[in-house]
Structure 1
Amino acid sequence: MNIIQKNLTKHTMYTLVHKTMGTVFTTQIIANERLSQCEEKKVIKHQRLLENYLEQVDARFSTYLNDSEVSLFNRGEIKITEVSDVFIFVFSSCFAAKLATNEAFDANYNDKFDPSGFVKGWSIETGLNNFLKPLFKIEHIQAINLIGGGDMQFETRNGSNWVFDIGIVNPYSKKEIIKTLALTTGAIATSGISERGEHIYRRNKSVLQATVVGTSLQETDVWATALMVNPKASLPKNITGFVFYALEGDENVKNS
Structure 2
Amino acid sequence: MAAIQARVIHAMTIPFTVQLVGNAEQSAQLATVIDQVTPEIADYLHHIETAFSPFSADSQVSAARRGDWRALISAQPSQTSTQPNTRHAPNEPSAAHRLPHTDFAEIYALVQQAKQLTHGHFDPMHAGQYDPTGIVKGWAIEQAHQRFLMPLITAGTCEAAALGGGGDIQAAVADTSDFTWHIGVQDPANPNATIRTITLRNGAVATSGTSKRGEHITRSAHDLAQATVVDDHLTFADMWATTAISAGEQTFRGIVAGNPVAQSSLMSVFVRPDGSITQFAPGEVPANHA
Q: Does TM, scored on the shorter chain, surpass 0.5?
A: yes
Name 1:203's counterpart in structure 2.
220
Q: 2:266 — aligned with what?
A: 239
CA contact (8 A) 1:26 1:148 kept: yes
Partner of 1:75: 66
Q: What is the CA–CA distance in structure 2 between the aligned matches of 1:81 and 1:166, rounded to whole Å?
A: 36
Tell me the alpha carbon deviations over residues 201-231 of structure 1, each in whole angstroms, 9 at most, x when there is no partner. 3333231110100100000000001001222
Name the stretch that deviates more: 226-235 or 141-150.
226-235
Identity between Structure 1 and Structure 2 (%): 30
Structure number with the higher strand fraction is 1
The answer for the alignment partner of 2:126 in structure 1 is 109
Provide the residue aligned with 1:43 in structure 2: 34
* Larger deviation, residues 181-190 vs 168-177: 168-177
Displacement of 1:110: 2.6
User: How much is the aligned-residue C-alpha RMSD, in angstroms?
Assistant: 2.0
Equivalent residue in structure 2 for 1:24, among 15, 35, 39: 15
Q: Work out whether residues 141 and 164 of structure 2, in 8 Å CA contact, stay in contact via their aligned partners in 1.
A: yes
Q: Distance in 2 between matches of 1:81 and 1:172?
A: 40
Q: Distance in 2 between matches of 1:36 and 1:165?
A: 20
Q: In 2, distance between residues paired with 1:225 and 1:38? A: 38
Shift of 1:137: 5.0
Query: Where does residue 3 of structure 1 map in the other structure?
Result: none
State whether structure 2 residue 200 is matched by structure 1 residue 173: no
- Residues 113-153 of structure 1: CA distance to partner in whole angstroms, max 9, x if unpaired? 11111110000001001011111256362111100112100
Helix, strand or coil for the counterpart of 1:247?
Answer: coil
2:246 aligns with: 229
Q: Is 1:55 paired with 2:37?
A: no
Q: Structure 2 counterpart of 1:15, which letter? A: A
TM-score (norm 1): 0.89
Letter in 2 for 1:216: H
Q: How many residues align?
A: 247
CA–CA separation in structure 2 for the residues paired with 1:198 and 1:169: 18
How far apart, CA to CA, are the structure 2 residues paired with 1:140 and 1:126?
19
* CA-CA distance at 1:82 after TM superposition: 4.4
Q: Does residue 155 of the first structure (1) align with residue 172 of the second (2)?
A: yes
Q: Which amino acid aligns with 2:12?
A: M
- Tell me the distance in 2 between the aligned counterparts of 1:226 and 1:168: 18
Give the aligned residue type for 1:93. L
The separation in 2 between residues aligned to 1:133 and 1:158, in whole angstroms, is 12
Q: 2:234 aligns with which of 188, 205, 217?
A: 217
Deviations 1:175-211, CA, capped at 9 Å, x for gaps? 2221112111100001111121121233332311101
Aligned-partner Cα distance in 2 for 1:56–1:96? 24
Q: Match for residue 249 of structure 1? A: 276
Which residue in 1 is equivalent to 2:205?
Answer: 188
Whichever residue aligns with residue 229 of structure 1, its letter is: S
- Alpha-carbon distance between aligned partners in 2 of 1:248 and 1:110, rounded to the nearest angstrom: 28
Partner-residue secondary structure (3-state), 1:197: coil
* Contact 2:115 2:122 (8 Å CA) reproduced: yes
Task: Identify the range of structure 1 (196-205 vs 21-30) with the bigger mean alpha-carbon deviation.
Answer: 196-205
Pair 34,197 (structure 1): closer, same or farther in 2 beyond 3 Å: farther
